[in-house]
Amino acid sequence: MTPPAPPQPHPKAGARRLYGRAKGHPLTARQQDLVDRLGPSMAWPDEGVINPADLLPGCQDHVLEIGFGAAEHLIGQAQRSPGAGFVGIEPFLNGVAKALAGIEDHGLANVRVKRADAREEMERMPDGAFARIFLLFPDPWPKSRHAKRRFVQADTARQLARLLQPGGRLRVATDVRAYADHALPILMETPGLAWRADGPGSWRQNPADHIITRYQSKRLGDIAPVFMEFERV
């Protein structure tokens, strides 16, 4: 008689579901090597407090990029600002592999990356941990019935505000009207965040320090890119 299968643990009450793909095309041999060899040293433990100052000591400021995709913006910003420490979180394995390639190719010592759900990682970070936070072209989930899957929600907006130091800046960019219409009211209503816009040019033009990625260049959205800049007050 076949013994019964052991009982499976029930999901934790209120556990989040991470929507979307976690892996795309098979990794190249080099990408797999980077994930196996370099990935563990670039990440951080799954439990306990995550203090960017401990991950990247000696850096003047710390910057968080959520969902860095192919890592072009993350790596470019880290090259441009070697005195700042950059923390990247991305659930997509292929994106993490590309970030690791950029770190190795450019000899960057001011970047740490991890494949994870940013919502859970943010909860383990201390108040005022970052001078800058980037959320660039997140998955729009454009259908209204999928709105709950979008990264910007009331709870995540409060976390973003909490993680910024006074005077720190949050940049959210999208090229999908439904996402802009969804995210902007939430962010404007979040205590501690002030929208820094003085006219259409403030959100319709690429910011001076922005790095245009291949994704942005493809113009896949239904509107020109919108850049929503907020300051922690």
pLDDT tens per residue across span 56-66: 999 999 999 99
Q: Hunting for tokens 């960019």 — which residue is that?
A: 173
Whole-number pLDDT of residue 49:
98
Half-sphere exposure of residue 178: CA atoms within 13 angstroms, side-chain side: 15
Quote the CA–CA distance of 155 and 201 in Å, as a whole number: 29
Torsion over CA: 18, 19, 20, 26 (sign): positive
Question: What pLDDT sits at residue 154?
Answer: 98
Q: Where are the domains of the chain?
A: 29-42+55-232
Which residue in 7, 152, 133, 20 sits closest to 68, CA to CA? Answer: 133
Which residues are annotated as part of the binding site for substrate? 143, 175
Q: Which residues are annotated as a binding site?
A: 65, 90, 117, 139, 143, 175
Q: Which CATH architecture has domain 29-42+55-232?
A: 3-Layer(aba) Sandwich (3.40)
pLDDT for res 202: 80
pTM: 0.90
Burial (CB < 10 A; 0-12, 13-18, 19+), residue 232, is buried
What value, to the nearest 5°, has the Cα angle with vertex 40 and ends 131 and 120? 50
Please give the structure tokens belonging to residue 15.
Answer: 């556990």
* pLDDT value, residue 25: 82
pLDDT at res. 24: 65
Count how many Cα atoms sit within 13 Å of the Cα of residue 11 in the half-sphere of its side chain. Answer: 5
Quote the distance between the C-alpha of residue 176 and its chain's center: 18
* Strand-by-strand arrangement of the 130-136 sheet: 111-114, 85-89, 62-66, 130-136, 164-174, 226-232, 193-195
Question: For 177-202, what is each residue's pLDDT tens digit?
Answer: 999 999 999 999 999 999 998 877 78
Dihedral of the alpha carbons of 149, 150, 156, 161, in degrees to the nearest 10: 180
Q: Which helix (H) or strand (E) holds 39?
A: helix 39-42
Q: Which of 176, 168, 147 is nearest to 61 (CA)?
A: 168
Q: Is 181 a catalytic residue?
A: no
Pick from 136, 138, 195: nearest CA to 161: 195
- Feature table: binding site for S-adenosyl-L-methionine: 65, 90, 117, 139
Catalytic, out of 139, 181, 209, 222? 139
Which residues lie closer than 8 Å to 16 by C-beta, 6 or more apart?
117, 119, 120
Q: Which residue has the tokens 């990440």?
A: 43
Q: What is the dihedral of CA 138, 148, 123, 69, to 10 degrees?
A: -20
Which stretches in the chain have pLDDT values below 50?
Answer: 1-15
> Which parts of 56-92 fold into alpha helices (H)?
72-80
- The pLDDT value recorded for residue 226 is 96
